[in-house]
Chains A and B, each alone.
Chain A
Amino acid sequence: MSTGGGTQNTVQKLPLEGIRVIDFTAVWAGPHVTQWLAVMGAEVIKIESRLRPDMIRAYWNLQSTGHSINSEFAEFNYGKKGCTLNMTQPRAREIVRELVGISDVVTENFGGAVMDRWGLGYAELAAIKPDIIMYAGSGFGRTGPYKEFPAFAGIAEAFAGLCHLNGYPGGDPRPMATFGYADVTSAEHGALAILAALHHREETGEGQYIDLSMTEVVSSLLFQPIMDYTMNGRVQGRQGNRDSVMAPHSCYRCRGDDEWVAIAVSSDEEWRSFCDAMGNPAWTGDERFRDALGRWRNQDELDALIGDWTRNHAHYEVAEMLQRVGVMAGPSLKMEEVIQDRHLRERGFHLDVDQPGLGTWCLAALPWRLSDVPPGNYEHAPELGEHNEYVFGELLSMSAEEIARLEEEQVIY
């Protein structure tokens, strides 16, 4: 791999080198947690089974390639190792216990108390490895009436009140931008909790159990409308691209095909610069727009007039013109523009990686730069069971025969 070639960099170590993670997570929320740990240098061993592959492997057009990899799986699982174990088999659970004995973290995000049913609950694991850190991610938490309930991001977002706030003024509540907004945000919260637990273990040698609820993650991200409600009993509505204070503050149509630019003006000074940048058309002299309150009260007219101006320019052009005079602005980027954006490119956010089955493609790195460590571990995402040899042979030092037998018995399967 090119810029992302973390693991080739032998001079320095990655922050989590030496930490091993046994990873039962699937779909988005879980794998994104362990992906963070992997990129930071932890050895993440993703456990799947042919009987129970990560459902996003199997998602669309699996058949198109001989590989069990698609873009989504790759995006959420790079940097990890993969092995297969058929957990319905008692022996498989034995093997997992052995793995746990030489690991630091165990992660899962099943729809229910699956780990307990397998006899792999925190109590059992702590008995094997007292300082183990166990992460359990779920939609509603591992306690309470819904602890056994499957959930997806959209459900948590709807329940916590995010969908209600997302949408156009006067329109319906809408599902949040990316499928799995709650997934990715929970994933980062989860990774943070794990790092905190690891830090505590460094200090005290104590492990612990982490119980993350997606619904609560979303709720904590909605503190502002929540506190407006708990303080004032007010239920905020959908603001679209508008702000409760700033005006102009919206997304304006530009010249190109479905091209838009976002502009926000937060002070009288910025307003003056903005008018200058537009060449002070007569309407900017309008009394109603002279002060901040006036602009806010008359933003419908204001937005229309600004739209007339932006319509004659490219979105990048407007953004750069305004940023140069200190006005907050940015083009509303399409996916392809994000990939090509010269700024992101120059910062090396996109990494070109070889992914068997996908060829060389450009993945989205994790959004961090540390000044003095390698960029991170961006090894390609594992095929189903790609690292069985390493896991069972090297880590658990099983003989080739034993491994072969277990494969036959569909334990390693």
Chain B
Amino acid sequence: MSLQALSGLKVVEWSEFVSGPYCGKLLADLGADVIKVERPSFGDRARRCGPFPEGIPHLEKSGLFLYLNTNKLGVTLNVESASGAQLLKELIKQADILVQNNPPRYLDELELDYEHLKNVSPRLLMTSIAPFGQTGPYRDYKSCNLISFHTSGIAFVNPSDGVDDTEAKPPLQGPEHQAGLLAGLSAAIGTMSAVFAQQMTGLGQHVDLSEQEALASITRRELAVYAVEGMGWTRLKGSQPGMASDIYQCSDGRVYLICFHDRTWESWLEVMGNPEWAYSELFLDIATRRENWDAAKVMIEEFTREHTVDEILRATEPRRIPCKPVNTAKQLVESELLAERDFFAEVGHKEAGNVKFPGAPCKLSETPWSVQRPAPLLGEHNEEVYCGRLGYTRQDLVRLRAGGVI
């Protein structure tokens, strides 16, 4: 096992479901030593969410959980008990970073908020992920993927090419867990930058990450255009100037095609056999095309409907016209492209067997992303952590378990 980029960084992850665990996973995949703290017996909520092999629910077989928690050590801990809070503090004393996504009010009630914990370890770097952050009027509001998408405004501009009937088609949330994943990702960045601050000063930090903001930050373009041009975004198709990056129906599927800028536009006309309509004033240059794009789109689709996805791809690729099929997860997993990149990782798991899941989003040449261990069974590393690192005896473990502490 070669040295990894974050080897030696000690993280306690007191989080569940998506955002916190994804933040922890990003650190763990690059070598950080992440101890995941779960509620005794129940464990991370994600364990209850599918997909499950053969659709049979099993605490240790949730695809979502297995993916989000590879490379972590797992311990159980009931932080609501006096003994549990004590153990958490002992874990934190030995750590550089605490990643948590509990409701702010809950932390206050347990007196485990940053103000209290920094007394436990002054150099503690604490990353807090909450739907609406640690401050402000919505601080204690509840949220989920749906709510985060809608309150951040990103749902309102989804889909980006607008809808034909704004009454029948409400603003649209993004696919499963996008909100949590993006929040976790932003939190990982916030955490790493705080690590550098910690290196400079030896002092701790509190990283306060709001899921709403993580998503709002994705719509920065729309926000900026509004800020500058005062342009309110309406959802009606065609009300936005076309960006000419669109989905087209083919005879046997769909392609996503971008043929907007002069060069690609001309190559695309070749592909279509230089139809007459394309040479009318309406489509002469970018400006006019943008004005009349809806018309162009209709004409283009007339052509694509006549052809298979493959035909379109074979025609566009040599001409370097940006174009790809609209895939499902199935086609993605089976794509030669990702196979060539050797992207999917596979790891054997005691309970779930061999699991294939998405691998490194980017390759680091010297310190590779790697899978050191599968997601932990619930409490799998209690003995390794509590006895091995905190010095408790096994008999203590038996007592702590019986007392519902671990």
Q: Which residues of A does B touch, CB under 8 Å?
A: 244-245, 266-268, 290-294, 296
Contacts and interface: CB of A to CB of B under 8 A. Distances in A.
A268 B399 contact: no
B40 to A, nearest CB: 13
Interface in B357-406: 396, 398-400, 402-405
A293 B403 CA distance: 9
A244 B81 contact: no
A293 B402 CA distance: 11
B399 A245 contact: yes
A296 B399 contact: yes
Interface residues of B, number: 12
A112 B396 CA distance: 49
A285 to B, nearest CB: 13
B143 interface: no
Contact of B83 (A245, A266, A292): A292
B403 A245 contact: yes
Contacts of B86: 290-291
A292 B84 CA distance: 10
A267 B82 CA distance: 10
B82 A291 contact: yes
B81 A293 contact: no
Contacts of A267: 81, 403-404
A292 B81 contact: yes
Contacts, number: 36
Contacts of A244: 398-399, 402
B402 A268 contact: no
Interface string B211-222: 000000000000
Main secondary structure of the interface of B (DSSP, over half): helix
Contacts of A296: 399
Contact of A268 (B83, B396, B398, B400): B83
A294 B403 CA distance: 12
A245 B81 contact: no
Contacts of B82: 268, 290-292
A199 B19 CA distance: 58
A244 B86 CA distance: 21
Nearest to A291: B83
Given A245-B403, A268-B82, A293-B403, 13 more contacts: A244-B402, A267-B81, A267-B404, A268-B81, A290-B86, A291-B83, A291-B405, A292-B83, A292-B400, A293-B83, A293-B399, A293-B400, A294-B83
Contacts of A292: 81-83, 399-400, 403, 405
A244 B394 CA distance: 13
A244 B81 CA distance: 19
Interface in B274-292: none
A268 B402 CA distance: 13
A386 B37 CA distance: 72
A245 B404 contact: no
A294 B404 CA distance: 15
Contacts of B405: 291-293
A266 B398 CA distance: 14
7 contacts: A245-B399, A291-B86, A292-B82, A292-B400, A292-B405, A293-B400, A293-B405
B22 to A, nearest CB: 32
